[in-house]
Amino acid sequence: MSKLWGGRFSGATDPLMEKFNASIHFDKLMYAADIQGSQAYAKALALTGIITQEESEQLVQGLAQVRKEWEDGTFAIQAGDEDIHTANERRLGEIVGSVAGKLHTGRSRNDQVATDMRLWLREEARALLQHLKELIQVAVERAVSDIDVVMPGYTHLQRAQPIRWSHWIMSYAWGWHADAQRLEQLIERINLLPLGSGALAGNPFNVDREFLAKELGFAGVIPNSLYGVSDRDFVAEFLFWASMTMIHISRFAEDLIIYSSGEFGFVTLADAYSTGSSLMPQKKNPDSLELLRGKSGRVFGQMSGFLMTVKGLPSTYNKDLQEDKEPMFDAVETLGGSLQITSAVLATLKIHPQKMAASLSNDMLATDVAEYLVRKGVPFRETHHIAGAAVRLSEERGVPMSQLTVADYQTLHPSFSDDVASVWNYEQSIENRSSIGGTSKSRVLEQAASLKKWLDL
Ligand code: ARG
């Protein structure tokens, strides 16, 4: 089988090199994008007059036939099909004959592959955006329905202040909302046309790149051919987006792994997303959450690996760039699964409000004691110290802070009076945090409403 680029070569390729060089086993994933790009290019060639309208139609129809073979699973990859571009063109030739040889006029696999990747990733990114929005929707709906559940909020994984469980859920919803915005912006940067850049210097047949862009649904044309064939920032950015989103998912998973432990017992994972141990009959393991946490490392690895691949590449296309596809494919696949599993885990999670409430302790209201005195006109720096002394006193006596008497409190500061009893109310502490973004009921519901609006629900 003669190679598309075989003209100047006399010796055969080492079979080992042939295998090493080939990308068909993974880039076949882009078969549809490749055909879409070629069909648009065949139309654009006819507009230049370099091929006839009839030839163009033959190419477009032949390409449709090739696509059908991929869809039916009847496309037979052959030895010598180096990549998806050569495979499709080889098959096109078998279907339409020698006119297939006109398709690549003025085009290079360099502008072709960059176009295929942008077309492919654009569609996948749109699908991922949908999954992400579904996840945000699950979070928002859960936050609304669980609004009355209170739990300990943590810093340093130490119990800090009482919060609403829904406030915790919404904290992740906001991270995912930022991820969704980043992805929307990234889709705009992906959505630019490299085709018509040729190998590097541009297209010699004055192909109408604006037409190509329109035909392929791109919002614009990449304005420099060297840049068009070599730019892979959209891949790097996508991998960063994927890493960031996975880090949010991973931290969410980590929280739930902790909350589902026997010691916490705040939540129970649905059976559908946990597994048992092959040895210990009592075990119910949060495998889904652990995999989410684990896969975040995998995606970050794809990003850092790819950045190393492109660092130091001379202008313009270099074969190193063939290494751009597997990280992109893998990240798309991993994110698709992870986003859907995260939604499902959150939607089916059982919570134990009693356990959460039982984990609240008086010392978590020490700040509220300080704030009580602030409301009586004592400067916060002093009140912080006084409340600290109250914590110490309760520890020394071995009783909760609420069991100290008013007289005890008055030994710490004269401004304490009977109404200090009102401090020992977790719900009240929560409702006091009523500025924008706080954990009070109306503020948490407000957050949910604002994301609901953003989701167009
Ligand atoms: N399979 C190649 C890739 O993925 C296509 C571009 C090849 N271009 C070239 N000049 N060898 O990057």
pLDDT tens profile 326-355: 999 999 999 999 999 999 999 999 999 999
213-246 as b/e, with b when 16 or more CB fall inside 10 Å?
Answer: bebbebeebbeebeebbbbbebbbbbbbbbbbbb
pLDDT of residue 2: 61
pLDDT of residue 279: 81
Q: Which residues line ligand 1 (CB under 6 A)?
A: 23, 27, 83, 109-110, 113, 317, 319, 321-322
Tell me the average pLDDT of the chain: 96
pLDDT class of 281 with cuts at 50, 70, 90: confident
Instruction: Give the distance, in angstroms, between the CA of residue 18 and the centroid of all CA atoms in the same chain.
Output: 35
Tell me the C-alpha distance between 177 and 449, whole Å. 13
Q: Whose CA is nearest to atom 11 of ligand 1?
A: 319
pLDDT class of 27 with cuts at 50, 70, 90: very high
The ligand 1 atom nearest the CA atom of 27? 4
Q: Given a cut of 60, is residue 19 above it in pLDDT?
A: yes
Q: Given a cut of 60, is residue 52 above it in pLDDT?
A: yes
pLDDT class of 55 with cuts at 50, 70, 90: very high
The ligand 1 atom nearest the CA atom of 84? 1
Cβ neighbours of 359 (radius 10 Å) = 17
Q: Whose CA is nearest to atom 7 of ligand 1?
A: 109
Give mean pLDDT, residues 80-89. Answer: 97
251 burial level (CB within 10 Å; 0-12, 13-18, 19+): middle
pLDDT of residue 423: 96
Query: 455: CA distance to ligand 1 center in Å?
Result: 40
pLDDT tens, 171-189?
Answer: 999 999 999 999 999 999 9
Query: 194: CA distance to ligand 1 center in Å?
Result: 14
Which of 145, 261, 277, 417 is catalytic? The answer is 277
Query: 319: CA distance to ligand 1 center in Å?
Result: 6
pLDDT tens, 299-309?
Answer: 999 999 999 99
pLDDT of residue 275: 86
φ/ψ of 128, rounded to 5, equals -65, -35
pLDDT tens, 388-398?
Answer: 999 999 999 99
Cβ neighbours of 174 (radius 10 Å) = 16
φ/ψ of 161, rounded to 5, equals -145, 150
Cβ-contact 267, 259 below 8 angstroms: yes
CA-to-CA dists, residue 259 to 110, 267, 289, angstroms: 51, 6, 12
pLDDT of residue 284: 85
Cβ neighbours of 369 (radius 10 Å) = 26
pLDDT of residue 151: 98
Domains and CATH numbers, the chain: 15-102 (1.10.275.10), 109-206+217-359 (1.20.200.10), 362-424 (1.10.40.30)
Of 104, 114, 102, 105, nearest to 226 by C-alpha is 114
177 part of the active site = no
φ/ψ of 182, rounded to 5, equals -60, -40
Residue whose CB lies within 8 A of the most ligand 1 atoms, among 229, 322, 329, for a mutation test: 322
Give mean pLDDT, residues 244-255. Answer: 98
pLDDT class of 10 with cuts at 50, 70, 90: confident
Cβ-contact 296, 332 below 8 angstroms: no
Query: 87: CA distance to ligand 1 center in Å?
Result: 13
pLDDT of residue 9: 75
Which of 2, 156, 278, 435 is catalytic? The answer is 156
CA-to-CA dists, residue 161 to 50, 164, 240, 386, angstroms: 73, 10, 33, 18
Number of H helices, E strands in the chain: 18, 6
Query: 232: CA distance to ligand 1 center in Å?
Result: 13
pLDDT tens, 260-276?
Answer: 999 999 999 999 999 88
pLDDT of residue 274: 93
pLDDT of residue 11: 82
25 part of the active site = no
Q: Whose CA is nearest to atom 2 of ligand 1?
A: 322
Residue whose CB lies within 8 A of the most ligand 1 atoms, among 26, 28, 82, 83, for a mutation test: 83
Query: 111: CA distance to ligand 1 center in Å?
Result: 9
pLDDT tens, 186-207?
Answer: 999 999 999 999 999 999 999 9
Q: Whose CA is nearest to atom 3 of ligand 1?
A: 322
